[in-house]
Structure 1
Amino acid sequence: MGLGIYQQADNYGLLRDENNNTKFANSLFFGLISGMSGGLAGSPLQLVKTQLMSYSNKKIAVGTQHAHQGTLYALRQIYNKNGLLGLWRGAHGMMLRNSIGSSTQIAAFAICKEWMDNNGFCQQSKYLSAFVASNIGAVAKTITLTPMDVIMTRLYNQAVDAQGRGVLYSGIVDCANKITRAEGILAFYKGIGPSYLRQAPHTVLLLVFWDMLKDLQKSWDKEKAS
């Protein structure tokens, strides 16, 4: 969904200048819109995933335990208890998370790949520049995304009151303030190593295949025109 929105912006000429070079600010903006849209659509499943993964045996349980028996059960329980809006509890955190991650990932990839292609770097094979640029995008995404991952996880996994409001954190700012006061700034980068190891393969595969698909689309368009 996110790349689709970004690609449509490119198709309509909203990302490039008169020399066909990517505008960094425009790339960031449409990457932000793309990530935000994906975060809104996927928030209910992210909520359920976080709660399912946090559930453990009582002997080793940490944090709020929701005791869901499966995905459909969790969706039904959340809906029955807190209504439709309950499925989107914490969605604002997910939307902010995805907007930050997607904008930095796509913009870093686009600018770096374009620079390498224009200056003859990493041109030994057709998609080498895409591979290198996507790794740079993964680093940028991990650095900017990890703090929001920490906040989002805590917002999703907290218990709620009868009105469906979080009992520990009232929102993103409240959560960030409490983490800072209790654990310090470095707490926002807990798990950054595993986060990179998760983000890098995803980012590389996503963006390299995206580059390949764009080339295929251009070939098909040329065949249709001929």
Structure 2
Amino acid sequence: MAAGTGALGPFPAAALHDFPYPSQTAAPVSHGPPAGGVPPAADLVLGAAAGCMACVLTNPLEVVKTRLQLQGELRAPGTYPRPYRGVLRAVGAVCRADGLRGLQKGLAAGLLYQGLMNGVRFYCYSCALDAGWTGWPGGTVVAGAVAGAVGAFVGSPAYLVKTHLQAQTLSAMAVGHQHNHESISDAFGSIYRQHGVAGLWRGVSGAVPRVAVGSAAQLATFASAKDWVCQHQWFGEGSWAAVLAGGMVSGVAVAVTMTPFDVVSTRLYNQPVEADGTGKLYRGFLDCFAQISSKEGLLGLYKGIGAVYLRLGPHTVLSLFFWDELRRMVRPQPPPGP
């Protein structure tokens, strides 16, 4: 998740038509060569492509989530207008203000972010898998968190621009600071001209813990949630429905743990800045966290949690599906029999 957080943590590769994810109670296994014969360099490309495909379908929820998280910034509850109320009504508000195409605002920047973040993240995780580090107790969670943090750092400039573009709308419906970029290229050019390379990484202090926490929480709960759904015979073992249900059950834990980091990250990225590039509202991650808590209350850290949750399960499954399908296309085929 992007994430976006997206499928926040890579999972062991396998043919997704039968979803043989390992049970959480199973003994650790030692990973040798790259799973399925796909090297880490290929996973970089395939992970990027999978994240981009999933992003096209889940970007509308990203737009809604961004608007909800910026609404009432640093203002006490009940003291500000609320043009966006809940996920479904927010979708309608976006459509009325920006048209149906408004639900895909920031899509180009979102695709760039997913490509960079997921490509690097899947590459790093594949390297850890190849080295056998994920076979150690807790190794999967640690590897997923580290891979997510590295991917978030690399993709941070794209996430910055994505947030700016998704927040832009008519003045009557505007929430948060309006940067008024004309396009993705104009956004990158404007930020670079005003604040240099460092300006492109503004807000990264919120992005890294956001993805690391979300990745660790997802990896720690997804397989167990899927096993639990199957054990209660809600859906058949290995079915698409079981994996989607597992993703949505896991999504509860991920949304609860990640949303505060997500809100802080969105605020840091979107805030107005001084001429020297420093933020006008927040000095950094901890300052932003403290200000939201004190001025908006604990619930202020959970703005947009509905959109975060609704996006997690489908995006996880879509990313895994696209990743595995692409892997199967490039996986070396056995030689024909005699």
Identify the TM-score tier after normalising by the shorter chain. 0.7 to 0.9
Within the alignment, does 1:12 sit opposite 2:161 as a pair? no
Local SS of the residue matching 1:223: coil
Within the alignment, does 1:42 sit opposite 2:161 as a pair? no
CA contact (8 A) 1:158 1:166 kept: yes
Local SS of the residue matching 1:67: coil
Residue in structure 1 matched with residue 212 of structure 2 by the alignment: 99
Residue in structure 1 matched with residue 146 of structure 2 by the alignment: 33
Residue in structure 1 matched with residue 193 of structure 2 by the alignment: 80
Which stretches in structure 1 are left out of the alignment for 5+ residues? 18-22
2 CA distance for matches of 1:157 and 1:9?
A: 34
Greater helix share, 1 or 2?
Answer: 1
User: Residue 208 and residue 115 in structure 1: after superposition, are their counterparts in 2 closer, same or farther (change >3 A)?
Assistant: farther
Local SS of the residue matching 1:140: helix
2 CA distance for matches of 1:39 and 1:94?
A: 6
* TM-score (structure 2 length as normaliser): 0.57
Residue in structure 2 matched with residue 223 of structure 1 by the alignment: 334
Residue in structure 2 matched with residue 175 of structure 1 by the alignment: 288
User: Residue 9 and residue 213 in structure 1: after superposition, are their counterparts in 2 closer, same or farther (change >3 A)?
Assistant: farther
1 CA distance for matches of 2:172 and 2:237?
A: 55
Q: CA deviation at 1:199?
A: 1.7
Q: CA deviation at 1:109?
A: 2.2
User: Residue 213 and residue 115 in structure 1: after superposition, are their counterparts in 2 closer, same or farther (change >3 A)?
Assistant: farther
CA contact (8 A) 1:54 1:65 kept: yes
After TM superposition, the structure 1 stretch with the greater mean CA deviation from structure 2, 132-141 or 154-163, is 132-141
* TM-score (structure 1 length as normaliser): 0.82
1 CA distance for matches of 2:229 and 2:179?
A: 49
Give the total of aligned pairs: 217
1:34-183 equivalent positions in 2, closer than 5 A = 34-112=147-225, 124-125=237-238, 130-183=243-296
2 CA distance for matches of 1:182 and 1:208?
A: 42
2 CA distance for matches of 1:147 and 1:59?
A: 27
Which stretches in structure 2 are left out of the alignment for 5+ residues? 1-118
User: Residue 3 and residue 202 in structure 1: after superposition, are their counterparts in 2 closer, same or farther (change >3 A)?
Assistant: same
1 CA distance for matches of 2:290 and 2:213?
A: 19
- Amino acid of the residue matched to residue 16 of structure 1? G
Local SS of the residue matching 1:62: coil
Identity level (%): 39
1 CA distance for matches of 2:177 and 2:294?
A: 21
1 CA distance for matches of 2:238 and 2:333?
A: 23
Local SS of the residue matching 2:133: coil
